[in-house]
Amino acid sequence: MDGSQPPMLRVSPQLRCPICGYGDWCMVAPDGKTAICPRTAEGAIKQAGAAGWFHIVHPDHVTPHPAPEFEPQHTAKVDFKWLSDIRRERAEPRLHDLARKLGVSVDALRCLKVGYNDYDQTFTFPERDGQGNIIGILLRYPTGPKKRIRGSKSGLSYADQWDNGSGSVLLVEGPSDTAALMTLGCNAIGRPSNRGGYAHLADLLSDFPDDRNIIVLGDNDCKEDGFWPGKDGAIQTASEVSKRLERTVYWALPPDGVKDARAWLNEHGGDNPTSMRDCFLEGLQLQAITPPPVIRSFVPFQEPISLGSYRQEMLKRRLLSLDRPGIYLDRSMTGSGKSAIDYRVVLNLFGRTEEVA
């Protein structure tokens, strides 16, 4: 294009790109005969620098209508399970590239239901509540930043079969560390952040056996000013989960001074990471968090009655028990009159009666 040609127009939802059909990023000539599309290289005459590829629009060309974007642009409720399943279908073979980049196993990523979106080249990580429902999707962009799809709620990252039936469960930060521990062969659940997910964790772990440890693993990310978000978050998470489950919960930092579980795997995992699981677990210095004492008030099972009426009922039931074989058990509290009732029962046997006070 030279300076004598009119400037190209930025496309919009009303004036869509005639090449890809989308309403953003692309440019089209005022007469509609040429376009620059950053999404479509096929059929282009040349590359127009960083702007995309230069296309000649055929007179009979029909502007395509791309499939609606899955990311919601409104407040309507999103079916995150359906969206996650769609993205999983497109994940292969890109999962192998992500596994190599993160240093984790492809099987771990598959079990976490990691997906892929061709449109923005993001990997998708579903997040769940304590019942297994997918309540949000975390996006990982090629350059590293992460964000959640609009409408998502922060949740946990875990596989359907997250518990192999033995050993401890480790609660780590995020899906990457979860995949790392799964690669080591550990039971792992990913928290949405260094602090958070307490209610979902308590729900998911409500039936976790008492003879197996729950361990919150924080990050070794101490700052120069002494601020330590990984450690502080691990302690707070362990305290909250301990209080909700009314059981001891442990916290620890990754062994050998590494930043997190994935760093330890990449440094020590080797060619057979599952053989290093016990080494990793034995290197954890567990710190116990015990739940605060719970004081429960007594709730009566029936409406209160006067002491005199209660003693009349005691006498009646004691007399009825005399001609019946078995054990008569009276668990009335001290001062309710058990001895006095026994005395009156004896008098009754000899034909004497007294009013019950």
Evaluate whether 303 touches 351 at the Cβ level (below 8 Å). Answer: no
Q: How many domains does the chain have?
A: 3
Q: Is residue 343 part of a domain?
A: yes
Mean pLDDT of 17-25: 85
Q: How far is Cα 188 from Cα 200, in angstroms, rounded to an integer?
A: 14
Q: Which residue has the tokens 């699981």?
A: 277
Q: What is the structure's pLDDT at 336?
A: 76
Q: pLDDT for 157-213, tens place per residue?
A: 999 999 999 999 999 999 999 999 999 999 999 999 888 899 999 999 999 999 999
Is residue 26 over pLDDT 80?
yes
- Domain end: 246, 261, 289, which one? 289
Looking at the fold, whether 124 and 172 belong to one and the same domain comes out as yes
| Residues of the domain holding 52 | 9-56
- Answer yes or no: is 143 within a domain: yes
Average pLDDT of the segment spanning 305-322: 80
Regarding whether 206 and 318 lie in a shared domain, the answer is no
Residue 301 domain flag: no
| Same structural domain, 234 and 344 | no
- pLDDT confidence tier of residue 5, bands split at 50, 70 and 90: low
CATH number, domain of 262, equals: 3.40.1360.10
pTM, full prediction:
0.63
Question: Which residue type does 159 have?
Answer: A
What is the predicted pLDDT for the residue at 299? Answer: 63
* φ, ψ of residue 178 in degrees (nearest 5): -60, -45
* Mean pLDDT of all residues in 301-320: 78
* Max mean pLDDT range (56-70, 71-85, 219-233): 219-233
Chain segment 80-130, per-residue pLDDT in tens: 999 999 899 888 878 999 999 999 999 999 999 999 988 888 999 999 999
Flag whether pLDDT at 292 surpasses 80.
yes
Q: Are residues 283 and 312 in the same domain?
A: no
Domain presence at residue 339:
yes
pLDDT of residue 68: 55
Whether residue 336 sits in one domain with residue 256: no
Report pLDDT digits (tens) over 207-266.
Answer: 999 999 999 999 999 988 888 989 999 999 999 999 999 999 999 999 999 999 999 999
**pLDDT cut 70: percent of the chain above it:** 89
Predicted local distance difference test score (pLDDT) of residue 116: 93
Could you tell me if residue 334 is inside a domain?
Answer: yes
Reported as a pLDDT band with limits 50, 70 and 90, residue 306 is confident
Are residues 95 and 182 both part of a single domain? yes
Nearest to 174 by CA among 145, 200, 194, 160: 194
Could you tell me if residue 67 is inside a domain?
Answer: no
Q: List phi, psi (to 5°) of 320.
A: -65, -25
Rounded to 10°, the helix 338-349/307-320 angle is 50
Contacts of 34 (CB under 8 A, 6+ apart): 8, 28, 54, 55, 56, 57
